[in-house]
Amino acid sequence: MKKDSTTFGSDPDKLAKLWTIGVDTKKDRIKLDENQVKSELLHDMLAGKMPLDQAVAQMLPKVLSELCKRIKPFTGDSFGLLLSDPDTDLLVLKRIKDYSKSLSKNVHSEAEHDVVAIIYYAAIASALINYNQRISSFSYENLLNAFSSMLEAKWMTPKLTALFQKAHEYCAKKVKKNE
């Protein structure tokens, strides 16, 4: 083992000089008058930061998560992403449903009507599956029939097909339960 492995090759005199540098700065502060000391301490304190309260630190993830859910419609996420994300807020799903309903009044073709209807019912299906909430006034029997029709569409995406299949099963259980 080498003697100087922890001193980086410095001899005891050099180390003693290094230690006195730190000690000398404290002496310089003592030489300042009281107002200068207070001024330096004030500047140091003003440059400091408040420590984070532990209660606040523990709440932050929940608050930020809730905020992210609330602003999700304004993030520019696509309808496909919003409808397939189980964490999309229920209010966002209601807005998608209402928006697609308003779009349906201005369609110019059967194809546009069918696409808007898919979005409309996908929002309803997502609310049923992810929140166990019905966001329309349609009965479960009417929704069951609508979801059956949606499942017949050969041009639908696999994610929407899976969503409509789950919603169809959900409504079938509700209808059977009410018989």
Residue 24 or 85, more confident: 85
Structure tokens at 104: 């349906």
For 132, left (φ over 0), alpha (ψ -120 to 50), or beta? left
- Structure tokens belonging to residue 38: 């207070």
Q: Which two tokens stand for residue 63?
A: 């608050």
Q: How many CB atoms lie within 10 A of CB 20?
A: 10
Q: Closest Cα to residue 126, out of 72, 162, 179? A: 162
* 23 — pLDDT class (breaks 50, 70, 90): low
- Higher per-residue confidence, 63 vs 12: 63
Q: What mean pLDDT do residues 77-86 have?
A: 87
Q: pTM for this structure?
A: 0.62
Report the percent of the chain where pLDDT is more than 90.
Answer: 39
How far apart CA 24 and CA 28 sit, in angstroms, is 6
Residue 114: CA atoms inside 13 Å, Cβ hemisphere, count? 11
